[in-house]
Amino acid sequence: MFRIVFYVEDRHLAAVMHTLAGQAKGLEVVPVANAVSDGSKVKAKVNGNVVELFADYMKKHSGKINSDYMREFQKSIGRSPEAYSNVLHKAKLAKLIRQIGTGSASTYERIGK
């Protein structure tokens, strides 16, 4: 038995999965949000810090920052959608966002940078 680790572009994932069907055991597919392909190498866009990833996500995705927005962000980086409160806390400390309201009605607004 061998363990093989490799990266696949989004557009080729279906073909690779179809090819490996029945041959690979315990196949796990995980999205990689922080990667850029440079020829034959895969490099990180940013250093992987969740605050930097969130800042990059906010630049690309407009909309009201609430729990649904944060769940989508968490999914996009391959994390549990329900574990977003830590990201909000770190983003507030980094002065990326500020909280409006309290409790389940909380929303957040971007602080201009």
Domain ranges across the chain: 10-44, 50-110
CATH architecture designation of domain 50-110: Orthogonal Bundle (1.10)
**pLDDT on residue 19:** 93
Q: Rounded CA gap, 72 and 79, in Å?
A: 10
**pLDDT on residue 3:** 85
**pLDDT on residue 33:** 67
Vertex 87: Cα angle to 65 and 9 (nearest 5) = 85
Threshold 0.85, pTM exceeds: no
**pLDDT on residue 48:** 65
**pLDDT on residue 104:** 82
Mark the ranges of the chain whose per-residue pLDDT is less than 50. none
User: Which of 34, 29, 38 is closest to 8 using CA atoms?
Assistant: 29
**pLDDT on residue 36:** 77
Q: Which two tokens stand for residue 90?
A: 């770190």
Q: Rounded CA gap, 67 and 27, in Å?
A: 31
**pLDDT on residue 45:** 66
